[in-house]
Amino acid sequence: MNYEEARVYLDETSKYGSVLGLENMKALLDRLDNPQESLKFIHISGTNGKGTVLAYLSTILRKAGYRTGRYISPTLFSYRERIQVNEEKIEKEALAQHVTAIAAAVADMKEKKAGTPTAFEIETALAFLYFKEKNCDIVVLETGLGGALDATNIIQTTQLEVIAPISMDHTDVLGKTLKEIAAQKAGIIKPHTTMVTAVQEEEAKEVLQKVCKEKESRFCEVEKDEISDIQYGYIRQSFSYKNWKNVEISLAGEFQIQNGALALEAVNQLRKLGLSLPNEAVYAGMKEAKWVGRFTVMSQNPLVILDGAHNPQAAEALRKSLELYFKGKKLYYVFGVFQDKDYKRIIELTAPLAEHIITVETPDNPRALPAEELKKQVEKINASVETGESIEAAIEKNLSYMGAEDVLVVFGSLSFLGIAAKVLQGGGRKNG
C-alpha cells in the first residue's frame, strides 16, 4: 500500500479502541520477527512531564552522537511526528512499507483467531520496525497509558527506566488510588536495571521502592535540595543540579525545572551505565530541546501561551506558571477538555485567574466535552465566560478583546491543542 492507503488503514484500526494487555502485542511482534529485541531503550512513564523529559534526553543523546529514536503520542501537528530518528519524522515511504507488513501480520492473527491489535499496538510495532531499519543506537520510549499493561512494555532490553511525577489520572483504567496508579506506572521496571524517578508523593515513592527491591533494580531519585540557582522566565530559564551548573533551557513553565533535574539525574545514571555523554552535549541538548504544548510561547506580540493542562496536576502547574510569569496581567483563556477528565477540578484551579474565558469543543472527537456544558461548569467559578463557535473563532475573538499587555492562554486536551497550534501558526488543519 502507499502512504495514503496506510493512513486510511491506521485510521480504521482506531475503531478497536484501547485494550490494556500484552497478548496482542506479543502475537503481532512474533509475526514481525520481534524487531524490538535488537534495540536498546530508555523507557519513560509517569503522569505529567513524560514528553518533556523525553525531549531533553533524546536531544542530549543526539548531540552526543547517538542515532536516537523517539516514540511519542499524541502529537500536535503531524501523524508522522510520533516516530522520529534524530528528530526527523518517519518518511512516508517507510511508513507505508512497514504498515503493509503489519497489515499482513494482523490479517494472519485474525484468521487464526489470535486477537485484533489496536491502533496504538500497531503504531508501536511500526515504531520498532522503523527504529530497527534505521539501526538506532538507543530509543527513548514514552508509555501510552499506565505502564505495566501498556503496549510499549513488551520490551525487555531497557537500559534505564525514568518515571515522571505520578498523580491521579485515568482512574477508570489505572486505579482509584495513587498507590494503585503508581503500581501501574512502576510496571515498566525490569529486573537488574536502574530506575530514576522525579520527586514523588510518599505513597507513590514507596511503591517504586518496593518494586525496585523486588526486581533487584537500583532506585534513584531526584534530590530536590540539589536544585539551585533557579532563574525563571517564559523565554529562557536556567538552574543548577548537582554537578550541572547554570543549565539553560528553552522550555517555559515553573515545572520545567523539576523535569530538567529529572533529565540530568537520568544523564548521570546513563553515564554510570557506560554511555558517553560529554558535558557540551548535555548543555546543548538541554538548551535546544523543544516540546510544543507544554507552556509553549506561540507568539510574543500578542503574547500567546499553549499548554496541555488536561488533568488536575497539570492544571496546578499551569496556574503556578501563570502566577509566576504574569502576575498583575489580564489573562484570556481558550479552554477545551475531554469529558472523562476531572474538568471540574481543572476549572477550580485555573478559572479564578482569568479575565475572560471562551470554551471550545474538539471537533469530531467523541470524548470531547461539549463547549456549552463546559461553559456551565466554568460559570460556577467565573461568570465572564462564553462558548466559541470554533477553536479558530474563539482565538480570534479573545485576541480582539485583549489589550497590548494582556495574555492569551490556550489550554486543555492535547488533540484540541493540535488544532489551536495550527490556527495560531496559520497552517489550517491538515495533518500529514
The per-residue pLDDT string of the chain (432 residues; one tens digit each, 9 = 90 and over) reads 999 999 999 989 977 666 778 999 999 999 999 999 999 999 999 988 899 999 999 999 999 999 999 999 777 778 899 999 999 999 999 999 999 999 999 999 999 999 999 999 999 999 999 999 999 999 999 998 888 999 999 999 999 999 999 988 766 678 889 999 999 999 999 999 999 999 999 999 999 999 999 999 999 999 999 999 999 999 999 999 999 999 999 999 989 999 999 999 999 999 999 999 999 999 999 999 998 888 999 999 999 999 989 889 889 999 999 999 999 999 999 999 999 889 999 999 999 999 999 999 988 888 899 999 999 999 999 999 999 999 999 999 999 999 999 999 999 988 888 889 888 887 444 445
Q: Label residues 387-409 b or e (16+ Cβ within 10 Å = b).
A: bbeebbebbebbbeebeeebbbb
Exposure of 426 in the CB half-sphere (CA atoms within 13 A): 1
Give CA–CA dist 393/374, Å, rounded: 17
For residue 175, with 0-12 CB atoms within 10 Å meaning exposed, 13-18 middle and 19 or more buried, which class applies? middle
Q: Going by C-beta distance under 8 Å and a sequence separation of 6 or more, which residues neighbour residue 315? A: 309, 345, 346, 349, 350
User: Does residue 404 sit in helix, strand or coil?
Assistant: coil
Q: How far is CA 410 from CA 15, 246, 258, in A?
A: 29, 30, 23
Single-letter amino acid, residue 242? K
Rounded to two decimals, the pTM is: 0.89
CA distance 66 to 68: 6
β-strands 68-71, 138-142 pairing: parallel
- Which runs of consecutive H residues, i.e. helices, occur in 278-365? 279-288, 312-325, 343-350
Closest of 110, 191, 120 to residue 156, by C-alpha: 191
